Structure 1
Amino acid sequence: MASTGLQLLGLLLAMLGWVTGALVCAAPLWRVSAFVGGELVIAQVLWEGLWMNCLSQTTGHIQCKTYDSTLALPGSIQAARSLAVLSLLLCLLAVVLGVAGAKCTHCLGDGNRAAKPRLVRISGGLFLLAGLLYLIPICWTAYAIVKDFYNPDIAAPLKRELGPALYLGWGSSLLLLVGGALLHVGSSPPGAIALPSFGRSKDNPQPAAGEGKPQEKAYV
C-alpha cells in the first residue's frame, strides 16, 4: 500500500535538493583561485561559476560580471549549463506530478485513486534522473579542477581549487536521489498485496456437509 509518510519525506527532500541545486547553479563559487607555492597572501581572489565570475579583494569589495559571450565559453561550461538547467526543469515537472499524485492531496479528486500512485512513481523517477544529470557537471568540474591543479604545465595563477558550490552540488544531488527513491518506494499501487483466503470465504460461503446430502439422494 502507498505510504503517506514516505511520500511526504521523499517529496520534501527532493524539493530541498531542487532549491539547493538552483542556488548552486546560480552561485559563482564553482572554481576559486588556488594558493600555490609561496603565494600565501594575495590581494584578489577570483570566483568562477556557470554564469558569471567575481573578483574579491582584501578590502571586502566584490565585483561580479556575467560572461560576455556564451559561444566563446569552453564546451565544458556550456555542457554543464545545459545539464544543470535540464535537471532543474525535470525537478519542476517532478514536483508538479508528485504534489498531484500524493496520497494526502486531492488534486485529482477521489475518483482517480489508481492513477495517483503511478504519478508519484513517475515523479520519483524524474527526481532520480534529475539527480544523476546534476551530478555529471559537478563531478566533471571537480575532476577538471583537480587534474589542472596537479598539472605542472599550467601556471600557478591559472590553477583553481574546488569551490564551496561543488560541495553543495553533491549534497543537492544526494537529496534528489534519496527523495526520488523514497517517492518510488512509498507509492506502491493499492491492491498489490494479495487478500487472505479467509476474507473471501465470508462472501461466498461453502455449503455445509449436511446440506449436500439431501440433494445427492434426490438425484439418486
Structure 2
Amino acid sequence: MTAGVRQLLGLVVASVSFLCSVIICALPQWRVTKNQDSRINYIREFSEGLWKFCETYSLNLVHCLRYESPYASITQDLEVARVLIVIAIIVGFTGILLGVAGSKFINFVPDEMKRSKMAMASGVVLFIAGLFVLIPVCWTTSTISVNFDNHLSPDSSGSPDSSGSPDFSGFPGSPGTLKSELGASVYIGWITSGLWFLGGGLLCSSFLCRDGTD
C-alpha cells in the first residue's frame, strides 16, 4: 500500500471519527437507567448525556432538562467527559486539517519531506484525540456499577434537593431497584477512540513508507 493511499484512508477514517465524536457529544445516552413496575406495566427510563438529562415514559414521551436547570445535576465523570470530548473534537479537527495540508493529493506544501512530516504530525495529533475520547469512555464505564441514586435521590417535598437532583416523587417502585446501564454514546465512544487510533496509525505509517510500498 503506497503512502498516498495510506494518507487517504487515514483521513477518511479520521473524518468518520470526527463525526462520531460530535454524535457522542450531543447524544444524551451516556448512561441509561430503567425502572419497570410489573403491577401496572409501567416503564420509565432516564438517560444522561453531557449536556442534558432526559426522561422517557412508556408512551415514548420524552422530557429533557439541561444541567443548568435547578432540577438536574451532572455527575463528575460526565462533567469531565464533556470537557475531554470537546477537546477531542477540536484536536481531531486540527489533526485532520494538518493531514489534508500534508497530503500528497494537495500541493499545499511543495516540499515532499515537509508534507511527510506533516502527515506524521497529523497522525500523532489523531492519537491524542483518541486518548481524549478513550479516557471519559473508560471512566463512565467503570462508574456504571455505582448506585444510580447517588445522583438522583427521591424528594418527597416535590422540589430539588441541595445537590440539584431531579425530583423523583411519584416514581413507581422503589428507587433502590434502579439499575444503570451503558448508553449508546459509550458504545459509540469505544468505536470512535479505535477509529481515531486507526486513522492516526495510517497517517503515521505513511511517513514510514513514503518512498514506496510495503
Render the CA deviation track for 1:156-181: whole Å, top value 9, x for unaligned: 35531111111011011110011101
State the distance in 1 between where 2:187 and 2:2 align.
Answer: 34
Letter aligned with residue 126 of structure 1: V
Matched, 1:51 2:51: yes
Give the aligned partner of residue 202 of structure 1: none
Structure 1 segment 25-174 matched on structure 2, within 5 A = 25-35=25-35, 41-68=41-68, 73-108=74-109, 110=110, 112-148=111-147, 155-174=175-194
Partner SS state of residue 34, structure 1: strand
- Bigger fraction of residues in helix: 1
- For structure 1, the residue ranges without an aligned partner over 5 or more in a row are 193-220
Aligned 8 A contact 2:3 2:209 in 1? no
Aligned 8 A contact 1:10 1:180 in 2? yes
Give the TM-score, by structure 2 length.
0.77
Aligned 8 A contact 2:98 2:119 in 1? yes
State the distance in 1 between where 2:127 and 2:112 align.
Answer: 24
Once the two structures are aligned, what percentage of the paired residues are identical?
32
Which portions of structure 1, spanning 4 or more consecutive aligned residues, are displaced by more than 4 angstroms? Answer: 35-41, 189-192
Partner SS state of residue 42, structure 2: coil
Give the TM-score, by structure 1 length.
0.75
Letter aligned with residue 116 of structure 2: P
Indicate the structure (1 or 2) with the bigger Cα radius of gyration: 1
Change (3 A) 1:32 1:46: same
State the distance in 2 between where 1:145 and 1:38 align.
Answer: 24
Letter aligned with residue 188 of structure 1: L
Partner SS state of residue 15, structure 2: helix
Over the aligned positions, Cα root-mean-square deviation in angstroms equals 2.9
Partner SS state of residue 147, structure 2: helix
State the distance in 2 between where 1:129 and 1:40 align.
Answer: 49
Letter aligned with residue 127 of structure 2: L
Letter aligned with residue 146 of structure 1: S
Letter aligned with residue 108 of structure 2: C
Letter aligned with residue 79 of structure 1: V
Render the CA deviation track for 1:50-74: whole Å, top value 9, x for unaligned: 100111122222222211169x643
State the distance in 2 between where 1:2 and 1:118 align.
Answer: 16
Aligned 8 A contact 1:34 1:160 in 2? yes
Change (3 A) 1:59 1:36: closer
Aligned 8 A contact 1:55 1:62 in 2? yes
- For structure 2, the residue ranges without an aligned partner over 5 or more in a row are 154-174
Aligned length: 187
Aligned 8 A contact 1:87 1:134 in 2? yes
1:118 deviates by 0.6
